[in-house]
Amino acid sequence: MEFLFYFGDVFTPVNFALLLVGTIGGLILGATPGLSPTMAVALLIPFTFKLEPAQGLILLGAAYTSTVAGGAVSAILLKIPGAPANIATTLDGHTMAQNGEGARALQLSFLASAIGGVFGVLLLIFLTPLLAQWALAFGPSHLFWLAILGVTVIGSLDSASVVKGLLSGCIGLWLATIGFDDIMGAQRFIFHPSLGGGINIIAALIGLFAIPQVITMFAKGRSGDGAEVIKVQKHSIRKAIAEIIRRPRALGIGTAIGSIIGLIPGVGGQIAGLVAYDQAKKFSPEYAKFGTGHSEGVIAAEAANNAMVGPSLVPLLTLSIPGSPTAAVLLGGLLIHGIFPGTDLFDNHPDVAWTFINSMLIGQILMCIFGLYVAGMAARIAQVPQSVMAAVVLGLAVFGSYSVQSSMGDVYVMASLGVMMYFLERFGFSAAPLVLGLILGPIAEANFIQGSMIASATDGLGPYFMTGTLNIVLIVLIAASVAYSAAMELRNRRTTSKEDLMI
C-alpha cells in the first residue's frame, strides 16, 4: 500500500495543473486524426526537460491515457479512428452516431474507458512492485535475453511481416551502437560529425514517429474532402451511467481482455480493442445487433483499449521492456531524467514512481469528466485540415528535436531517420521494433559485455548465456514469439489467397 503514501503529491498545484494540461491536451490530440498517441507523447517529451522527473512523467502519462480515449471521438463522429486502438470503436460507434446517438456513444465510450483504465492502473499498482522485486534475480545474461525478447516480441507481433519486423529491430539495435563505445572509447559507425555523441533518443523518437506522419499527410495532396462531423444530440449522462451498469458483460470482457493483452509486450491497444469486441459479440445474446450501432460494441472496445494502458507499463517499469510503442517513448522520457526502470526506480525514486502511477489513476477520472463535457468541442478540432496538421507537426518536430541539446545535429538526425522510416514503412518495415532496438540496444550491449566478462572467467560464453532455467525460459519465449507470429502470418496469407481465388 506504499502508493497511498504518495497520493497527496498528485494534488500539488504544479502536478495537478500538468495532469489537467496533459489530460485535456491528450483528449484534443487523440481526437485529431493522424496524430497517434505515440507521436503525441514523443512531441511532448521536449516540454518535460525543464520539469522535475515526476512532473514530466505526469504530463506524458496523462497524455498517453487521454489520447487513447480521445481517439474514440473521431472514431465515432468521423469514422476515422484517432489511434489504431480505436479501430473497433468505429464498428458500432459511428453507426450509433449516424442514428442520432452520437452523444450516447461518446458518453459510453468515455465511461467504459475510465472504468477499464482504472482497473488497468490498479493492476499496475499491485503487480509492479512484486515484479520489480523479482527482477532483482536477473543477472547480465537474463537482462540481455530480456532486451532481445523486447525487440523480437514487438518485431514479430507488431509487424505485418515477421522477417521485416525483426530486420527493423536489427536496424534499431545497430543504430544504438553508433557513437563512442563505452568500454574502449572506440569510434563506431560515425560517418557524420552529428553522430559523434551517438543518436539522441528523443530526436530519434520524434523523427521516427512524427516525420512519417507528416510525409503521409503530404502524400494525400490537396484533398479538400474533409471528413464530415456528425452533429451531436444531447443525451443525459445519468442515462449513460445507468446503461453502463446494465452492461456488465461487455464492460467485464473489455476490461479483462485489455488488461491481459496490455501485460504482453508488443501487442498493443489495436489488438485489445478488436479481440474484446469479438469476444463481447460471441458472448452476447444480442450478437446479431453488433455492427448495427449496438452499445456493447463501443463499451467492450473502449474498456479494452484503456484497460491496456496501465498493464502495458508493468514490463516497462519493472524490466525496462516497454509493452507498447508509446511505453517505449515513455521509457525515453524516464531515461533523459537519469532514471532507470526496475528496482532503481522503486528503491531510489519511489516518489517519482508512485506519483506517476497515482497520477494515471486520477488522470482516468479527469479524462472521463472532461471527455463527457468537451467531446463535442474536440470533434470540431478533429476537423483541422491535414495541411495545417502537417505543417504544425513538422514545426514541432524541428523545434522539439533542436531543444533536446540545442544542436542542429539532432535536427538532422531526426529528419534523416524520419524520411528513412517513411520509405521503409512503404515497403513493410515497422517503426515500433526499430525504436525498441534503439532504446533496448544499449541495455542489451552493456549486459552482453558484462556477461561475456563473467563468462570468460567462469564457464565460457555458451554455458553462461544458454544454460540456467531463466535463460532457457527467455530463449524459449523469444523462439515462441517468432514461431507464433510466423505461423499466424502464413495462415493469414493462405486465407487471403483463398479469398483472392473466390473473387
Partner 1 sequence: MSIRNLPRLQHIIASGLVAAVGLWVAWISYTQQPTEAFLFPRLISTVFVVLAFWTFAKALIGLTKVGAGLNAHTIGNLAPGLAVALIYIFWAARGLGFYTATTIAFFILLSLYDPAPHNALRSWLRRTIITAVFMAVMYGLFAKLLQVYTPREIFF
Judged by the rule CB under 8 A, the positions of this chain that interact with partner 1 are 46-47, 49-50, 159-161, 163-164, 166-167, 170-171, 173-174, 177, 181, 183-184, 186, 188-189, 214-215, 217-226, 385-388, 390-392, 394-396, 398-399, 402-403, 406, 408, 411-412, 415, 419, 423-429, 444-445, 448-449, 452, 493
Three-state secondary-structure class, residue 188: strand
Three-state secondary-structure class, residue 180: strand
The smaller minimum CB distance to partner 1, of residues 238 and 499, is found at 499
Q: For residue 449, how many other CB atoms are within 10 A of its CB?
A: 16
Provide φ and ψ at 266, rounded to 5°. 90, -15
CB 94 within 8 A of CB 75: yes
The smaller minimum CB distance to partner 1, of residues 210 and 299, is found at 210
The smaller minimum CB distance to partner 1, of residues 183 and 483, is found at 183
Nearest distance from C-beta of residue 439 to partner 1, angstroms: 15
Nearest distance from C-beta of residue 400 to partner 1, angstroms: 9
Nearest distance from C-beta of residue 23 to partner 1, angstroms: 19
Q: Which residue has the cell 474484446?
A: 276
Beta-carbon contacts of residue 342 (< 8 Å; ≥ 6 apart): 132, 135, 317, 318, 319, 320
Nearest distance from C-beta of residue 267 to partner 1, angstroms: 19
Amino acid identity of 21?
V
Residue spans of alpha helices (H) in 308-349: 309-312, 314-319, 325-335, 343-348
Q: Which residue has the cell 446517438?
A: 101
**Helices and strands of the chain, counted as H and E runs:** 23, 2
The smaller minimum CB distance to partner 1, of residues 113 and 403, is found at 403
Three-state secondary-structure class, residue 291: coil
The smaller minimum CB distance to partner 1, of residues 181 and 228, is found at 181
The smaller minimum CB distance to partner 1, of residues 15 and 159, is found at 159
Nearest distance from C-beta of residue 493 to partner 1, angstroms: 6
Amino acid identity of 450?
Q
Nearest distance from C-beta of residue 164 to partner 1, angstroms: 6
| Cα separation, 106 vs 372, whole angstroms | 7
Nearest distance from C-beta of residue 369 to partner 1, angstroms: 26
Nearest distance from C-beta of residue 452 to partner 1, angstroms: 7
The smaller minimum CB distance to partner 1, of residues 192 and 239, is found at 192
| Cα separation, 78 vs 94, whole angstroms | 7
Q: Return the C-alpha cell found at 99.
A: 442514428
Beta-carbon contacts of residue 386 (< 8 Å; ≥ 6 apart): 34, 217, 220, 223
The smaller minimum CB distance to partner 1, of residues 326 and 447, is found at 447
